[in-house]
Amino acid sequence: MERISEVSTWRAYAEHQRSLGHRIGLVPTMGALHAGHTSLFDAAKRNGELVVATIFVNPRQFNDAADLRAYPRTPGADAALAEAHGVDCLVEPTLEEMWPQYPKSTPTTVSVGGISESLEGAGRPGHFEGVASVVAKLLAITGPCRAYFGEKDFQQLAVVRQMVHDLGFDVEVVGSAIVRDHDGLALSSRNVLLAPPQRTSALGLSRALRAAEALAAPASIVRETMLTILEDSGLDVAYAEVVDPITFEASSDDESGERRALVAARVGGVRLIDNATVTLMAKGD
């Protein structure tokens, strides 16, 4: 496995690999790798791609300095796990390489309107501008590729897809299913920050979604059901919402069919998110 930290070397590596006939599968991460990340590496490998994984904790997508400081960093374990799952090149750019002017603001920011403004966007001001900006830079450096993202960050995936479409990147965005632990908790790098009692409370997110999946009811009933379960689990709820999976507009009680349920909550100061597909039945049907 090759390891690169310079942007110029990374760009040259990708160009050279394409000249040899390889198709690149890019997996952007912030490190603290787990089975959710390795499922993306494995998916790219199954598709016959040369796998380039990036590890960069992007400060521009954190609106809370304490959250940035607390974000887990496990570089040695990350490199071993990436290599074990067939990553061909691990890119670990420095902050100076990615955002030379940091902590001063970077003049250029990529902003995706509409779908980025609700839910995570509303609760974490500036978050999706940071995400879109860093992903745009990762894609610009790597060049034509397939880019793999997990569906746990479902709104992020939608923002990236919209950006790629609007800006005309020669990139195919691939979403991969959420990977869960044995108890149903969606895998997240932040899970390691949970004490055992907090982890038990955090299971309320997946319980709320399972209950929503079992319903065929109007959107308001689905929301109320999820919110009750989250609150009964002792979680500090940020939202329990049902939306159109493309536009992210909140669903009304007049709608039927498949929609996306998304939940977010804090437990012990740790912010967790999860989501699932649900089926709505319009009121009166």
In terms of Cα–Cα distance, which of 212, 209, 219, 194 is closest to 281?
219
- pLDDT at 284 exceeding the cut of 90: no
- pLDDT at 239 exceeding the cut of 80: yes
- pLDDT at 49 exceeding the cut of 90: yes
- pLDDT at 220 exceeding the cut of 80: yes
Partnered with residue 171 across adjacent β-strands are: 145
CA 280/CA 161 separation, integer angstroms:
25
- What's the pLDDT at 187? 97
- What's the pLDDT at 155? 98
- CATH code 1.10.3720.10 for 2-176: no
- What type of residue is 284? G
Give me the CATH code for the 190-279 domain, please.
3.30.1300.10
- What's the pLDDT at 72? 95
- What's the pLDDT at 140? 98
- What type of residue is 149? F
- Chain segment 79-110, per-residue pLDDT in tens: 999 999 999 999 999 999 999 999 999 999 99
Report the Cα 137 to chain-centroid distance in Å.
17
Cis previous bond, 103, omega within 30? yes
What is 49-118 written as a DSSP string? PEEEEEE---GGG-S-HHHHHHS---HHHHHHHHHHTT-SEEE---HHHH-TTTTSPPS-----TTTTSS
Report the Cα 283 to chain-centroid distance in Å.
33
CA 35/CA 147 separation, integer angstroms:
18
Residue 85 a catalytic site member:
no
Provide the whole-model pTM.
Answer: 0.96
CA 91/CA 9 separation, integer angstroms:
10
CA 165/CA 153 separation, integer angstroms:
19
- Chain segment 137-163, per-residue pLDDT in tens: 999 999 999 999 999 999 999 999 999
Which positions ≥6 away from 6 have C-beta within 8 Å?
A: 93, 97
CA 81/CA 62 separation, integer angstroms:
25
Query: What residue spans define the domains of the chain?
Result: 2-176, 190-279
* Other C-beta atoms lying within 10 Å of the C-beta of residue 210: 13
CA 12/CA 8 separation, integer angstroms:
6
- What type of residue is 283? K
- What type of residue is 126? G
Arithmetic mean of pLDDT, 219-229: 98
- Chain segment 240-282, per-residue pLDDT in tens: 999 999 999 999 999 999 999 999 999 999 999 999 999 999 9
| 2-176 shares its CATH topology with 190-279 | no
- What's the pLDDT at 283? 86
- What's the pLDDT at 228? 98
**Mean pLDDT rounded to a whole number for the chain:** 97
Report in angstroms the alpha-carbon separations of 218 from 128, 244, 248, 255, 264. 30, 14, 17, 7, 21
* Contact status, residue 25 vs residue 143, Cβ threshold 8 Å: no
Sheet containing strand 257-267, edge to edge, reads 216-217, 270-280, 257-267, 236-243
Out of 16, 22, 34, 37, which one is annotated catalytic? Answer: 37
- pLDDT at 285 exceeding the cut of 90: no
* Contact status, residue 170 vs residue 143, Cβ threshold 8 Å: yes
Q: What angle do CA 133, 138, 140 make, to 5 degrees?
A: 90
- pLDDT at 184 exceeding the cut of 80: yes
- What's the pLDDT at 36? 97
Sheet containing strand 24-29, edge to edge, reads 2-4, 89-91, 50-55, 24-29, 145-150, 171-176
